[in-house]
Amino acid sequence: MVIYIFSLERIFTTQASKVGVMLLIDGGYDVEAILKIDEGRKIMDLIQRVLVKLGYSETDGKVYGVLLLSPKPLTINEISKITKLSRTTVSTSLSKLVRDYLIQRSKLGRIKLHTAVPAIAEKISLQPKELLDREIKPLSQLTLKLLNAKGNEFKHLENLLEDLKQAENFLLNMIRREGNLPS
């Protein structure tokens, strides 16, 4: 086993007073050591919050964050140890993240290794389209259907329908600007 001394300055841009020293073992740094410093914990917290906003659980965010911080692929056991989550919980989270292409799974013999794919920007760029398709359009259609069926009884929903049309136009313009939809 080769042991190296490595300055955290190369990992995080920090104030000189916060620069620490950690051990690198076999060419990979210890993710747990990063999580012990303030910046590491802040990174994990922010990754969790971003993934929750994207519709994932805090557990998914924690697992994804650990893998993003790791310079090498990790096994379920390693992720479980670092996150202090059960193997079953980690496995469930990994399955969801693999399915959504945020994590790649590979095998080394019988051992499954997991690596994070930095794809947060891609997920965020897809959000307007998903929001439009999954929520705004169906809500507009149902509101219009209700208005047409019940007439004056639900006249107050006309304001909602107008607001939904504005939201739909806003999202369509945003998607067109991003190049995800033809003009």
Q: What share of the chain is helix, strand, coil (3-state, %, to 5)?
A: 65, 15, 20
Element (H or E) spanning 38, and its range? helix 38-53
Q: What are phi and psi of 56, to 5 degrees?
A: -95, 170
**CA-based nearest residue to 20, from 30, 70, 64, 69:** 30
Q: Which residue has the tokens 């993003």?
A: 68
Residue 181 pLDDT level (bands cut at 50, 70, 90): low
Give tens-digit pLDDT for 108-151: 899 999 998 887 767 777 778 877 887 788 888 888 887 787 66
What tokens were used for 54? 């994207």
* pLDDT surpasses 70 at 81: yes
Q: Do the strands 28-29 and 21-25 form a parallel or antiparallel pair, or are they unpaired?
A: antiparallel
Amino acid at 53: K
Instruction: Give CA–CA dist 48/40, Å, rounded.
Output: 12
Task: Report yes or no on whether pTM surpasses 0.85.
Answer: no
* pLDDT at residue 121 in the model: 67
**CA-based nearest residue to 56, from 69, 31, 65:** 65
What tokens were used for 74? 């990790």
> What is the CATH architecture assignment of 31-118?
Orthogonal Bundle (1.10)
What tokens were used for 99? 């399915």
Rounded to an integer, the average pLDDT of 63-91 is 91
* pLDDT at residue 180 in the model: 54
Instruction: Give CA–CA dist 102/116, Å, rounded.
Output: 6
Contact 37, 13 (CB under 8 A): no
Give tens-digit pLDDT for 146-166: 778 766 766 777 888 888 888
* pLDDT at residue 173 in the model: 86
Residue-averaged pLDDT of the chain: 76
Residue 8 pLDDT level (bands cut at 50, 70, 90): very low
